[in-house]
Amino acid sequence: MSGRSRDGAGLYDDPDFLDGYRHLRRTGQGINDELEIPAMDAVLRTLPVAGARVVDLGCGEGGLAVRLAKAGAADVLAVDASQQMLAAAVQHPRVRYQRADLTTFDLPPGSADLVVSSMALHYVENLDTLLARTAHWLSRSERKHPPGEAGSPPAARVVVPGGAEARPIEREPASSWGEAPRVGREPSSSGGEVTRVEREPSSSGGEVTRVGRGASSGGGEGLPRAGGALVFSVEHPVMTAAVAVDCGVDDYADEGRRERTWFVEGVVKYHRTIGSIVGSLRRHGFQLELIDEPLPTREQAAAHPHLAIHRRRPPILLVAARRTS
């Protein structure tokens, strides 16, 4: 079909699109199994998932929601607009599925400890308002039983794809979420504040950039007790901008709606710069904890030739942030 636009909320119920997408996922030809899922799980393993009330935005068939439930989350509310995706979703006693459009979906303040989203938020036109709502759900002052406090369930295991690296999640104080960044001062590109940046190997063979802010928390001392955490992956802004055949990036500064052909014509996605995403997070009271760009190693690209293109430009942006109040 041509000449038709397909918004994210209805896209995954389009039979032509869904056939292509499911084939991609079934055959492992996408970026999910090799790049996105391992990187997402590496971040989630550093969080006190046990006992947490989790919300998964754009859950699809529930892979991430079920991994978190198996890791000990007390309750996972998994939200998606697609009837077809939800109809095929994997069932788990602690996962509740809800059909809703993320454009308007809302929850009471303080009702979540952890919000996650895997490769869905680039379909949402107004990310800023969604992040504003998310900040309220994660509001620390209104959360009843922060994980890691007395009364929360015991530690559980995170199931890592492949199973080999599974390790227990400690019921640790939430303030030890992630590793404290080592101090290294440089000018911030997003507002002139001092930002600490540390590069280290990432789960995916690339590097993780850990970012910490503020002048008084060097080495992690003085970090506030963690509020609720937000972890999400999106199509990398380099991809959503416009990528020419030669892999050059174009129109990066022009944020907003894009129409792309992906199995079908007219697939609508929304481009935002990294600075704009970070700015929205900060505006709504989030402290940025980590930015990762999962990339294939040379070995992965050799073993899975469909990944080779992703060494030329990053396919995924993975962000972790937390509410501090």
- Interacting residues toward ligand SAM by CB under 6 A: 8-9, 12, 58-60, 63-64, 80-82, 85, 101-103, 118-120, 123-124
User: In DSSP terms, which residues pair with 257 in a beta bridge?
Assistant: 270
Hey, how many other C-beta atoms are within 10 angstroms of the C-beta on 175?
14
When the beta carbons of 28 and 222 are compared against ligand SAM, the nearer one is 28
Least Å distance between CB 15 and ligand SAM? 14
Q: Rounded distance, CA 178 to CA 175, Å?
A: 9
When the beta carbons of 89 and 180 are compared against ligand SAM, the nearer one is 89
Least Å distance between CB 58 and ligand SAM? 3
When the beta carbons of 59 and 156 are compared against ligand SAM, the nearer one is 59
Alpha helices in 71-108 (DSSP H): 83-87
Least Å distance between CB 230 and ligand SAM? 15
Least Å distance between CB 93 and ligand SAM? 20
When the beta carbons of 86 and 223 are compared against ligand SAM, the nearer one is 86
* Max intra-chain CA distance, the chain: 57
Least Å distance between CB 269 and ligand SAM? 10
**Which of 261-282 are b and which e, b meaning 16 or more Cβ less than 10 Å from the residue's Cβ?**
eebbebbbbbbbbbeebbebbb
Least Å distance between CB 34 and ligand SAM? 13
Q: Rounded distance, CA 194 to CA 187, Å?
A: 5
Least Å distance between CB 81 and ligand SAM? 3
Task: Answer for the pair 137, 252: CB distance below 8 angstroms, yes or no.
Answer: no
Residue corresponding to tokens 């993320």: 102
The token pair at 20 is 């292509």
DSSP 32: I
When the beta carbons of 44 and 174 are compared against ligand SAM, the nearer one is 44
DSSP 223: P
Least Å distance between CB 215 and ligand SAM? 37
Task: Answer for the pair 41, 162: CB distance below 8 angstroms, yes or no.
Answer: no
**Beta strand pairing call for 95-99 and 75-80:** parallel
When the beta carbons of 80 and 293 are compared against ligand SAM, the nearer one is 80
Q: How far is CA 119 from CA 232, 267, 317, 318, in A?
A: 7, 14, 9, 9
When the beta carbons of 41 and 293 are compared against ligand SAM, the nearer one is 41
Task: Answer for the pair 311, 301: CB distance below 8 angstroms, yes or no.
Answer: yes
When the beta carbons of 11 and 180 are compared against ligand SAM, the nearer one is 11
The token pair at 279 is 């700015």
When the beta carbons of 120 and 317 are compared against ligand SAM, the nearer one is 120
Task: Answer for the pair 253, 273: CB distance below 8 angstroms, yes or no.
Answer: yes
Least Å distance between CB 54 and ligand SAM? 13
- Helix or strand or coil: residue 255? coil
